[in-house]
Amino acid sequence: MDLSYSPAQAELKARAAELAKRIMPYEQQCDEHEGLPADVLAELRLHTLDLRLNAVNMPAEWGGQGLSVLDQVLAQEELGQLTNALWDVVWRPANALRACDELQRERYLLPAIRGERRDCYAVTEEGAGSDFTGIQTTATADGDGFRISGEKWFVTVGDVADFLIVMAMVGPEREPTLFLVDRDTPGVSVKRTPRYMHAFVYKHPIFTFDDVRVGPEAVLGGIGAGAELTREWFVEERLMIGARACGAAERALREATEWAQTRQQFDRALIDNQMIQAMLADCAMDIATARALTYQVAAECDAGMPRKLVHAKAAMVKAVASEAAGRVVDRAVQIFGGRGYMREFPVERLYRDIRVDRIWEGTNEIQRLIVSNEIAKRGLDELLHPWPTR
């Protein structure tokens, strides 16, 4: 089993690290103003294109970078070192958009790949979070089209996106279906934009859909395909959360190590104290363990691992990496002492940023249910060993 980076992967990591380096100077500005101005975002778009890191999850023939899952993980890990979720300025169109037909691809996906348009995924509702069968948003037949009515919460990037991927239930059978809805369609409005624990580069508005009329061309992937497309999106995003969590944890550990080496207390460096040494060692072990699992599962995806097993192993990655990162960042804050509680220090911003990774794209409690369901149905062998088992 070869765990070394290929020359192409090493070059990819270097490009991603360079992009992170170019974005990093804007971290404190983003935190203080809870976002960045349009001219800065436009500049960062050009950097993304220059370093060929736009739409890494989309096929090259459509203008994306066509990276494997493992290569996407390597890029996301580098970008995950950024605070204030500035990794999200490096756009990855929702993988559900691969289901676009030719006309939809021209109108939505290709401009999104180029960074000329931005999508956001509208699934969650006030009463429907982890269990999306409780979704109340409906799409009622109206001639050859539909009228969408409902409300969506936590629509990440909704403040800058110009089209939404909306989950709605169709007909008396309540068939979960995705619709492509332009932001400026009559009846689409922002109810309010809550403030959150982190100062994300983009916002998470609550959208209202008041009898929004869309044509049949708005249906993405077919009536009733919404649940499966969303599940596939969740699986991919859980792997990317794992990758970014590893990156965030590594940055926190590097910051804490440098501080421990230079900070003098009681006439010696902090790192000379065994309790500090133990904290640093625990951080290194957490990161190494989470990274190994993340890389393994990404490589297994590229090797054609069955989707149900991918679903379970991606759940493991998301839970393991997000919780490991939480422990690492918490220790880093402690090592920094009072400065770790100051917003001008990256470890404080990472502390607020990383907490949501245990919640979004399925809470970690849901991830545990997915894993336990895999154990109950198919046993432990494939779950615990690299795929394929021998």
Catalytic sites, residue numbers:
361
Rounded Cα–Cα distance for residues 204 and 200 (Å):
9
Contact (CB, 8 A) for 352 and 198? yes
Rounded Cα–Cα distance for residues 234 and 228 (Å):
10
- Which residues are within 8 A (CB) of 282 and not within 5 positions of it... i.e. 6 or more apart? 327, 331
The CA distances from residue 255 to 26, 136, 251, 263, 283, in Å, are: 18, 45, 6, 12, 12
Contact (CB, 8 A) for 284 and 340? no
Q: Name residue 98's amino acid.
A: R
Q: Residue 349: in which H helix or E strand, if any?
A: helix 346-354
Beta-strand relationship, 145-152 and 138-142: antiparallel
Sign for the pseudo-dihedral over CA of 6, 10, 15, 17: positive
Q: Is the peptide bond before 306 cis (omega within 30 degrees of 0)?
A: no
Residue 2 CB burial class (10 angstroms; 0-12, 13-18, ≥19)? exposed
Rounded Cα–Cα distance for residues 149 and 169 (Å):
10
Please, where are the H alpha helices in 4-151? Answer: 7-23, 27-33, 38-50, 69-79, 102-104, 110-114
**Could you tell me if residue 66 is left (phi over 0), alpha (psi between -120 and 50 degrees) or otherwise beta?**
left
Q: Residue 164: in which H helix or E strand, if any?
A: strand 163-170
Rounded Cα–Cα distance for residues 320 and 315 (Å):
8
Q: How far apart are the first and last CA of the chain?
A: 13
Contact (CB, 8 A) for 153 and 128? no
Tokens representing 260 are 């421990």
